[in-house]
């Protein structure tokens, strides 16, 4: 496609016919619709007729708003909306209960633009909220028990939500380039990293480390984590633990 001055392709009108032609089958048999980098400004309503699509890629467009009935796309298991101009997400997104991967990075989202219904997406394994304007997360996300990876990089977080400690399957939280700092409070257990740190933060349960590694990590971050959990900030350190087989694969 011909690239415009803004870096986006010339705007292409998405019709039901063109959408059907853009559907591909992934190696694992899923039906993926890719409409990335097409200069789309308004969500194509014809997509609601494609009730058999498993994966939808609308990344790198110019979409500012999703329709209120967006949750009618209930067949979706994978959704990529990164690099648009979204300022909010409709509450109906909570109806996409089959989603395992959701990418909302590089938009214009604020805390008020995230609906509490995101907590209904209990099958999510990966949630990317990086490169937005977030300084907090809805408390309802505590229900995301299957979440394994969370992207919060390039936001406005001064502290991380305490409920992240309760997500037992969460092993990777990317908080690069946030205005975080270290603080200790008597009744709070917070993970924080200085803004100049370039490491990822890993939340690890005590049972996942050998005795030697557990003792080392606790001494490195005294008072910063909740009971039965350990903070591993250095990504290379995490990988070293894997090589030494200290981390138990469950």
Domains and CATH numbers, the chain: 16-181 (3.80.10.10)
Give the model's pLDDT for residue 216. 57
**Chain length of the chain:** 250
Give the model's pLDDT for residue 182. 58
What backbone torsions phi and psi does residue 31 show, to the nearest 5 degrees? Answer: -100, 115
In the chain, % of residues over pLDDT 70: 68
* Cα–Cα distance for residue pair 163/172, rounded to 1 Å: 14
Please measure the distance between the N-terminal and C-terminal CA atoms of the chain and give it in whole angstroms: 46
Tell the residue number behind the tokens 């949750």, with chain if given: 71
- Average pLDDT by consecutive 10-residue portion of the chain (250 residues)? 43 89 96 97 96 97 98 97 98 98 98 98 98 98 97 95 93 93 39 38 53 56 44 41 36
Give the model's pLDDT for residue 247. 37
Angle in degrees, CA 9, 153, 39, rounded to 5: 10
* pLDDT tens track for 132-184: 999 999 999 999 999 999 999 999 999 999 999 899 999 999 999 999 865 52
What backbone torsions phi and psi does residue 146 show, to the nearest 5 degrees? Answer: -95, 0
* Cα–Cα distance for residue pair 26/213, rounded to 1 Å: 40
Tell the residue number behind the tokens 């999510």, with chain if given: 124
**C-alpha 14 chain-centroid distance:** 27
Q: Which helix (H) or strand (E) holds 241?
A: helix 235-243
Give the model's pLDDT for residue 13. 85
Q: Dihedral sign, CA of 78, 84, 89, 90?
A: negative
């Amino acid at each position: 496609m011909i690239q415009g001055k803004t870096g986006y392709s010339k705007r292409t009108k998405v019709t039901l016919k063109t959408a059907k032609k853009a559907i591909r089958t992934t190696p694992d048999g899923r039906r993926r619709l890719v409409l990335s980098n097409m200069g789309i400004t308004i969500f194509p309503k014809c997509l609601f007729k494609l009730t058999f699509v498993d994966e939808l890629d609308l990344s790198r467009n110019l979409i500012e708003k999703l329709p209120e009935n967006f949750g009618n796309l209930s067949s979706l298991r994978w959704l990529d909306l990164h690099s648009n101009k979204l300022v909010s997400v409709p509450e109906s997104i909570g109806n996409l209960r089959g989603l395992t991967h959701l990418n909302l990075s590089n938009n214009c989202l604020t805390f008020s633009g995230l609906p509490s219904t995101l907590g209904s997406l209990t099958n999510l394994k990966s949630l990317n909220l990086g490169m937005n304007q977030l300084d907090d997360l809805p408390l309802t996300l505590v229900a995301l028990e299957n979440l394994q990876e969370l992207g919060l990089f390039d936001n406005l977080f001064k502290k991380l939500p305490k409920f992240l400690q309760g997500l037992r399957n969460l092993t990777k939280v990317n908080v690069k380039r946030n205005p975080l700092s270290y603080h200790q409070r008597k009744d709070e257990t917070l993970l924080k990293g200085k803004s100049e740190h370039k490491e990822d933060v890993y939340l690890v349960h005590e049972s996942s480390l050998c005795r030697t590694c557990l003792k080392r990590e606790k001494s490195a971050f005294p008072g910063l984590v909740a009971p039965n959990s350990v903070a591993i900030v250095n990504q290379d350190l995490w990988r070293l633990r894997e090589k030494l087989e200290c981390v138990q694969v469950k």
